[in-house]
Structure 1
Amino acid sequence: MHTRIITFLFVVAVTANAQAAPVDLVTNGTSDYVIFHDSNAPKSVSEAAVELQAYLLRSSGAKLDVVHQPADKMICLGDCEAARAADVEAQNLPWEGFRILTNGTNVYIIGRDTADGEKTPGGGTSRGTYNGVCRFLEEYVGVRWLIPGEHGDYIPKSSDVTIPDTDFQDAPAMLNRRVPYTQERRSEVKQWWRRQRLGWSLYLNHSHNWQHTIPASQFDKHPDWFAERAGVRVPPTGRYKLCTTNAELVKAYADAAIAYFDRNPNTTCYSLSPSDSAGYCECDQCSALYEKDPNGRRSVTPAILTFYNAVAKIVAKKYPDKVLAGYVYAAYLYPPKENLKLERNVFVVLTPSIDYGFTLARPAIRKQWESLLQDWTNATENISYYDLPVNITTEAGALNPPGLEILKFIYPKLAAAKIKGVYVYGVPAWGRAAPLNYLLAKLAWNPNADVEAMFDEYCAKAYGACGDDINQMYRMLDKEVARHYREFPNASYPLTTDMLRDIYAKNFPEIEQRYRAAHAKVKDADAKFRLEMIADNLKVLHWNLRQHNLLDEPKASAFYLSDGDFFEFLSANKGSLALHPSDGTKVPAYVRTKRNVTVPAKPKQAEKVRSFRLRGDQHLIVKPTGTSAAEVRFRRISARGKLITYRVFESDGAEVSGGVASEGSPLILDNADSGSEYYHVVIAGGTASFTIDVKEAAWAADGNLSDQGLHLLGQSSPLYFYVPEGTPAFHLSLEASPPGETAAATLTDPRGQRVAEFDCAQLSVDRQNIKLTSGQSGWWKLDVHKAKTGAIDDVWIKLESPLSGYFSLDPDRAATVQ
């Protein structure tokens, strides 16, 4: 054991008396001190006391009682009479800030705290005293919260704890600090967030909000509220857009925001942000506001800001102190050429989508980024920041380096620009990117912190004796990823096959060598646990590299798992913080609905199955028809960084199996024992695409998972759907993303007669009402093909009631679902 005296390095530090004696808080594992706070202190203060007591005990062996009466020797927490008697007050501290002071024999940790249920003027909360205790534990006890959970703490042991004479205060540079996509709904991650002093005294809601505010159901009554394309108001599906120059629409949006504030009087912010993706209105009034951005692309920024202002102006009449927040992003990222003054209640969220992934490794992108930051901060003081600048999005286990050079570039500039908040993506699989998540949390509080020093310290404390090996492994990957982004101009944030080949397969021998060296050195149990979180991801990465045939001798690796062992490994580690979280354990409601699944005669107009690809999440119904087990194979998988998983349910909704899609391991459905009439195959595909090949069964794909319908990629084999006798009419839609991505389709009835032609060369959605005559019940065929202009890529097909919405792509194995 040793004596530890640690010197603070804080934003503001003032030595009260250079000659004053230090405070001996713990001596030889014992202490005369107590932890005091008022009995009516906010919950956050009592939580701070519990944290302080627990970590002092774990570090020094001394348990300091928590009391509610001042004592001669005490650590005094929170704003109270005892603190004010020592001339320590919280009222002049910034929200979320704190002051730590030694005065005589006592230590005071006083923060700006909101009472239970109280909000700051910005609509948030303030846990200043708790923040001060966490900083105290870091600086004087040496505690680090490296990852969430029981193995995440670094607590050096010392029988003596001495506090130097000091008086200083600190507060966050950002009023809203979030590191999302870190599995933050888990209790242990929420606790980790608190200890890292993440949180907000300024509440901001900036999510994509058009669909929630103006639902698609309004289209029939108000088609002019929605985007116009090629002279036609487009039926709203997916991430639909609004006509931002329509005065009635602006009023309706403002009324919805006002109604929200009426229902939630303590809430201070409502989102104006458009739905994601493209498809903006092309009516004359909207188009007149559009211009070209610096890269020669269409910019809709003037229209979006005009909309923000118009809504904000109406809302301010009733709620002048409420805030309307909205992104500046994608097609509305660049400021307008002519200055457009924003209403004082508009809060801009700068979202530089040009830098997603590690694209800031490119000098040209850095230059654009700096220009954007300067232009927007010149335009308004009400500005926050949203980004994913150091993220490789994947479920494939690829380690995500910390992006040290990018972090050193971004954060000091955000601080200098006086950005009010940061919402910067972390990585949900902590075994891929724990150092990055840690750095993002620290920089949210102090964007001028020393990134290199924090990273080095993290590796040393998280991995102990093998810290240098892991440090060098991540630094090697950092350099390789930056190189890749400079050499591959199309690389963005999703993991690609090029990345797997050029970064991970190329460097996998060195990654494994460094890991093995680290594993041979590690002794501490917690450090070993953190190290093995990395190993879990390397097993996933190795399996994915093997699926792409990118490893010369895959079985020679310590991370090799056969397909069967890999599926068992994933099953055993479901819910692990180390790995990317699974797509959920809830049973989808649609598998509980009993279906009538039949296998009618083959469609008369059937063609031989052509190549097709399903994309994204899918729901298949598979009905065994042979004497042997049915087989479902995934082929032509394009994972796009996604680990495609599936779950199988029997016809009564009981879950029977699950796994990971692999071209080498078919899914076997044997109803000999269960007697299930049919099976649901629920596929979590994300952005991946794949082909399905079924044997010994009939099958159909569900077009009801989204309001856009069945999602296909590229030119497809014809689709078949069954129209029952007595159906008077049905609506059928074809959707694409013109002008770049287009599609067309021909609809044929059961007699082989052409009934309708669909064209999405100009319209994003071609929705037609098909009226039936005698003799048109049975199998219909929709043949999707290229339009006269553009390229066929993402295509959606939707059948509406009274039809079931299911499609068959293999006429020899077509099933009807009612």
Structure 2
Amino acid sequence: MNARFCVFAVLLLLTTKAHPASVHLVNAGTSDYVIYHEADAPSSVALAASQMQDYVLKVTGAELPIVNRPGDKMISIGDNLAARQAGVSLAAIPWEGYRIVTRDSDVFLVGRDCEAGQLTPNGGTSNGSLNATYDFLERFLGVRWLMPGEHGDYVPKSADLWIPETDLRDAPALLNRRVPYLQQHRADVKRWCMQQRLGASLYLNHSHNWRRTIPASHFDAHPDWFAERGGVRIPPTGRYKLCTTNPGLIRAYADAAIKYFDQKPAASCYSLSPSDSAGYCQCDRCSALYETDPNGDLSVTPAILAFYNGVAKRVGKKYPGKILAGYVYADYVFPPKKTVKLEPNVFLTWAPSFDYGFTLSRSELQQQWRELLSQWTQVTSNLSYYDLPMHIETEAGALNPPGLEILKLIYPNLQRAKMKGVYVYGIEAWGRAAPLNYLLARLAWNPAADVEALFDEYCAKAYEGGGDDINQLFRLLDREVARHYREYPKARYTLTTDMMRDIYAKNFAAIEKLYRAAESKVRDSDAKVRLSMIGDNLTVLHWNLRQQGVLEAAEESTFHLSDQAFSAFLSANRGSLALSPTMVNDPPPSVRSKFQVTVAPRAKHRDPIKPFQLRGDQHLVLRPLGDDRVELKFSRVSKRGKLVHYAVYRQDASEVASGLVSDTEPIGWESDQADYYHLVISADTASLMVTVSGAAWAVDGKLSDQGLHLLGKVTPLYFYVPDQTASFPLSLEASPPGETASAMLRDPGGQQVASFDCSIISVDRQRIEVSAEQVGWWQLDIQAAASGVIDDVWIKTEPPLSGYFSIAPDFALEVQIQETGVE
């Protein structure tokens, strides 16, 4: 785990193809060479042989047979007897490393390979011979894997192929190389990642793990394990926090990790990382460890590292060779002021959250980044890196520039700091950021690579005759994004209205001109497809700029589409690699559940609906009123860079309609005898108000374990308490002291039963006793608290209640779950 494997490529001799020691692999489109690997070689070696055969054929037209016996003239792949007899050994070659060697008329590609089911000593995998093959194809055939899919390869043509006399050794500088958020579920993306030699001989799991390890169900028995705030142990919801100094909690967490390793002997790593966001424990023991960071903010680092050490020490007694990994991030991103000696099995993942987005365009944060990198490397050598420093989070089609200057800052410094791993976000919409995704993958293997040269080559090869124009386009955006982040100190990694106006609307005409110039010059069919992926995102961007009213003369743009045409465009591109994959593609589990729904009688005690704002993903259940048309109108839609999609399903989960949520376009359908319908809204952080006609309806409060999420504007909520309910838990949640809320709970007779207050504590959870006379519809009236303001508010019921709320009391719908959908 502590070993340092550096890139060490030594090319002993590169000669011209006329040199007598060169290997003439293909001559005028023909070859008498074979590709050899042992019959029982690892599957990665067999894949390497297949990839070699495919790409030699594509480049030269010569198809080399794959054989399982050495030939007179051969490309030998894998660590086999023929290679060893030729003197090509793997001595001193690290995991994932390889050699490429010419011997007489043969070529040997030999790497450290894992057998089926085999793991490296650090729990990872190694496909060294496959890595050698991809290097060979790039280095000697000129192949490039520019992006996933059938149009992603750059394959030059040559009927002759010479391999100069070579003895080359290479291995990755980083033992764990991941570029997440590339649509990794797709087979073509998985293959592309292999072609870029992404992988890990060191397995690390540093995900937020507190909720999985210490579930909220432990609260009733062990409230002292959970965070205290305002003198009260807070009921766990959402991204709840633990009391890191509690001995029982440390013991329970260690026991959970030990149980995990007991059940999975091959596992090598368990995550210690806290849940995301703020809200750390304020008990006396935890608070005594906290510090003030250099920016004057709270730093909980000493408490978090003490927790990591406490758990790791207990686990290490039984499993000294296992890794306990954890973030240093957010409120614990700064090293402690006093030296802390970490347990040898603790592995830190530094995630400098202050640099998310393009904030490293600011010189003061560049300096802070360098200082912290140096400081953390003094704390431990067990260190990996997590970041999204060139990431603009959006589905609005805004092109994401590569951040060339930031890349040149980060990667060489990571290598000098002897980082063991890198986990830097890519962009799922390849049409927004293909150059960035490519650069991240290349730099993961070789952090010292020439960023400018890589980018220039990418544009030239990916976009052919239009490469210069696309190069200029992305460099323009690189400059403008950097300028914006320097001029707007609050800009982070999420697309804002200011960014849409100041970067994208301001420069849209220039972007459009460069794109159309490139389009006019491209002749290669694959390059045309790659270029069109950028165009698809510019279509999305234009529509969003027009929706926000920030683009002058929007109708004159060549990217202009009517709302109807734009919706059809999105439907036609469903599942595209080019666009953000956020459309509702499959019915979620809630839609596959079976419900009993009952339209409520007219409520005796009801209040008028007030303007309200639902935030995040939503699931509505709707029961048509007779044969009337069901119609929904949306208002107050705040998209926050999202394309907010909807899908309507019948009770059998068959789709009725789908499209984009819009302030101007209602959605509706004719009732077709279904007992009820589902409306699913994919909104993420977006918010909206909905008005329903022609149906009784209820909204699901179980999509998040925090409950139904309201933003800023609230209205009374109604929920049904069925017969034989003895009691039920009900929670109100806010984020005091700034964001607060209170509520009054009334029973079906209109009597106040309980009051809730989140002006001091974040979660007010109460168990409500129910008498036989209180069966029926209850009202929760959410109000402003005595201090603070209403902003993000969550309301949650727990079993035995169903978790569904009605907002319109005259059209309330009782929803009872009969059969839960299966994931």
Q: Give the TM-score, by structure 2 length.
A: 0.95
1:716 aligns to what? 714
Given that 2:361 and 2:485 are in contact with CA atoms closer than 8 Å, whether structure 1 keeps it comes out as: yes
Give secondary structure in 1 for the equivalent of 2:84.
helix
Partner Cα separation in structure 2 for residue 45 and residue 108 of structure 1: 12
2:431 aligns to what? 431
1:694 aligns to what? 692
2:814 aligns to what? 816
Task: Return 21-30 or 171-180, whichever deviates more.
Answer: 21-30
Partner Cα separation in structure 2 for residue 583 and residue 559 of structure 1: 21
Partner Cα separation in structure 1 for residue 192 and residue 626 of structure 2: 54
Check if 1:744 corresponds to 2:742. yes
2:474 aligns to what? 474
Deviation string 1:358-400 (CA, Å, 9 cap, x unpaired) is 1101111111111111110111000000000001111111111
2:161 aligns to what? 161
Q: CA deviation at 1:16?
A: 8.7
1:116 aligns to what? 116
1:582 aligns to what? 582
Deviation string 1:107-127 (CA, Å, 9 cap, x unpaired) is 222112222221111111111
Q: CA deviation at 1:258?
A: 1.1
Partner Cα separation in structure 2 for residue 16 and residue 507 of structure 1: 46
Gaps of 5+ in 2: 1-6, 817-823
Deviation string 1:754-800 (CA, Å, 9 cap, x unpaired) is 32221112211101122234654443322222223333221110122
Q: Identity of paired residues, percent?
A: 62
Q: How does 1:33-432 map to 2 (within 5 A)?
A: 33-432=33-432
Give secondary structure in 2 for the equivalent of 1:262.
helix
Task: Return 547-556 or 503-512, whichever deviates more.
Answer: 547-556
Given that 1:16 and 1:167 are in contact with CA atoms closer than 8 Å, whether structure 2 keeps it comes out as: no
Partner Cα separation in structure 2 for residue 50 and residue 281 of structure 1: 56
Deviation string 1:67-112 (CA, Å, 9 cap, x unpaired) is 2222332222221222122221013211111111222222222112
Partner Cα separation in structure 1 for residue 736 and residue 565 of structure 2: 45
Q: CA deviation at 1:536?
A: 1.2
Letter of the 1:711 partner, please give it: H
Instruction: Give the direction of change, closer, same or farther, for the CA distance of 1:28–1:630 in structure 2 (3 Å limit).
Output: same
Task: Return 200-209 or 43-52, whichever deviates more.
Answer: 43-52
Given that 1:599 and 1:814 are in contact with CA atoms closer than 8 Å, whether structure 2 keeps it comes out as: yes
Give secondary structure in 1 for the equivalent of 2:11.
strand
Given that 1:91 and 1:112 are in contact with CA atoms closer than 8 Å, whether structure 2 keeps it comes out as: no
Partner Cα separation in structure 1 for residue 388 and residue 451 of structure 2: 17
Partner Cα separation in structure 1 for residue 199 and residue 305 of structure 2: 28
Task: Return 408-417 or 588-597, whichever deviates more.
Answer: 588-597
Partner Cα separation in structure 1 for residue 742 and residue 269 of structure 2: 43
Given that 1:97 and 1:171 are in contact with CA atoms closer than 8 Å, whether structure 2 keeps it comes out as: yes
Q: CA deviation at 1:301?
A: 0.7
Instruction: Give the direction of change, closer, same or farther, for the CA distance of 1:173–1:584 in structure 2 (3 Å limit).
Output: farther
Deviation string 1:179-199 (CA, Å, 9 cap, x unpaired) is 000011211111101110000
Task: Return 432-441 or 724-733, whichever deviates more.
Answer: 724-733
Given that 1:227 and 1:283 are in contact with CA atoms closer than 8 Å, whether structure 2 keeps it comes out as: yes
Q: CA deviation at 1:17?
A: 9.2
Partner Cα separation in structure 2 for residue 670 and residue 795 of structure 1: 34
Task: Return 480-489 or 349-358, whichever deviates more.
Answer: 480-489
Task: Return 783-792 or 711-720, whichever deviates more.
Answer: 783-792
Partner Cα separation in structure 2 for residue 44 and residue 600 of structure 1: 61
Q: CA deviation at 1:541?
A: 1.3
Given that 2:700 and 2:803 are in contact with CA atoms closer than 8 Å, whether structure 1 keeps it comes out as: yes
1:540 aligns to what? 540
2:3 aligns to what? none
Partner Cα separation in structure 2 for residue 460 and residue 481 of structure 1: 23
Q: How does 1:515-664 map to 2 (within 5 A)?
A: 515-582=515-582, 585-625=585-625, 628-664=628-664
Letter of the 2:802 partner, please give it: S
Given that 2:15 and 2:164 are in contact with CA atoms closer than 8 Å, whether structure 1 keeps it comes out as: no
1:15 aligns to what? 13
Letter of the 2:688 partner, please give it: F
Task: Return 405-414 or 495-504, whichever deviates more.
Answer: 495-504
Given that 1:125 and 1:200 are in contact with CA atoms closer than 8 Å, whether structure 2 keeps it comes out as: yes
Given that 2:642 and 2:686 are in contact with CA atoms closer than 8 Å, whether structure 1 keeps it comes out as: yes
Partner Cα separation in structure 2 for residue 311 and residue 503 of structure 1: 47
Deviation string 1:659-678 (CA, Å, 9 cap, x unpaired) is 1111111111321xx12233
Task: Return 111-120 or 768-777, whichever deviates more.
Answer: 768-777
Partner Cα separation in structure 1 for residue 622 and residue 71 of structure 2: 73
CA RMSD of aligned residues (A): 1.8
Letter of the 1:151 partner, please give it: H
1:807 aligns to what? 805
Deviation string 1:155-213 (CA, Å, 9 cap, x unpaired) is 10001111122222111000000000001121111110111000010010111111111
Deviation string 1:665-703 (CA, Å, 9 cap, x unpaired) is 1111321xx122332111111011111122233322111
Task: Return 706-715 or 14-23, whichever deviates more.
Answer: 14-23
Partner Cα separation in structure 1 for residue 712 and residue 208 of structure 2: 28
Partner Cα separation in structure 1 for residue 389 and residue 805 of structure 2: 40
Task: Return 730-739 or 12-21, whichever deviates more.
Answer: 12-21
Task: Return 412-421 or 75-84, whichever deviates more.
Answer: 75-84
Given that 1:574 and 1:582 are in contact with CA atoms closer than 8 Å, whether structure 2 keeps it comes out as: no
Which residue, out of 769, 794, 797, partners 1:796? 794
Partner Cα separation in structure 2 for residue 788 and residue 20 of structure 1: 88
2:821 aligns to what? none
Q: CA deviation at 1:479?
A: 0.8
Q: CA deviation at 1:551?
A: 2.3
Give secondary structure in 1 for the equivalent of 2:327.
strand
Partner Cα separation in structure 2 for residue 804 and residue 107 of structure 1: 67
Q: CA deviation at 1:585?
A: 3.0
Partner Cα separation in structure 2 for residue 503 and residue 467 of structure 1: 22
Letter of the 1:187 partner, please give it: A
Task: Return 753-762 or 319-328, whichever deviates more.
Answer: 753-762
2:778 aligns to what? 780
Partner Cα separation in structure 2 for residue 160 and residue 100 of structure 1: 20
Letter of the 1:109 partner, please give it: L
2:702 aligns to what? 704
Check if 1:729 corresponds to 2:730. no
**Aligned positions, number:** 808
Q: CA deviation at 1:713?
A: 0.7
Q: CA deviation at 1:317?
A: 0.8
Give secondary structure in 1 for the equivalent of 2:544.
helix
Instruction: Give the direction of change, closer, same or farther, for the CA distance of 1:803–1:125 in structure 2 (3 Å limit).
Output: closer
Partner Cα separation in structure 1 for residue 322 and residue 205 of structure 2: 12
Instruction: Give the direction of change, closer, same or farther, for the CA distance of 1:514–1:16 in structure 2 (3 Å limit).
Output: closer
Given that 1:715 and 1:785 are in contact with CA atoms closer than 8 Å, whether structure 2 keeps it comes out as: no
Q: CA deviation at 1:336?
A: 0.8
2:512 aligns to what? 512
Give secondary structure in 2 for the equivalent of 1:394.
coil
Partner Cα separation in structure 1 for residue 203 and residue 252 of structure 2: 24
Q: Give the TM-score, by structure 1 length.
A: 0.96
Task: Return 37-46 or 317-326, whichever deviates more.
Answer: 37-46
Deviation string 1:486-545 (CA, Å, 9 cap, x unpaired) is 111111111111111111111111111111111111110000010111111111111211
Partner Cα separation in structure 2 for residue 76 and residue 705 of structure 1: 54
Deviation string 1:226-271 (CA, Å, 9 cap, x unpaired) is 1112222211111111111111111111111111111111111111
Deviation string 1:438-467 (CA, Å, 9 cap, x unpaired) is 000000000010011100100000010111
Given that 1:96 and 1:128 are in contact with CA atoms closer than 8 Å, whether structure 2 keeps it comes out as: yes
Give secondary structure in 2 for the equivalent of 1:278.
coil
Letter of the 1:340 partner, please give it: V
Partner Cα separation in structure 1 for residue 605 and residue 297 of structure 2: 45
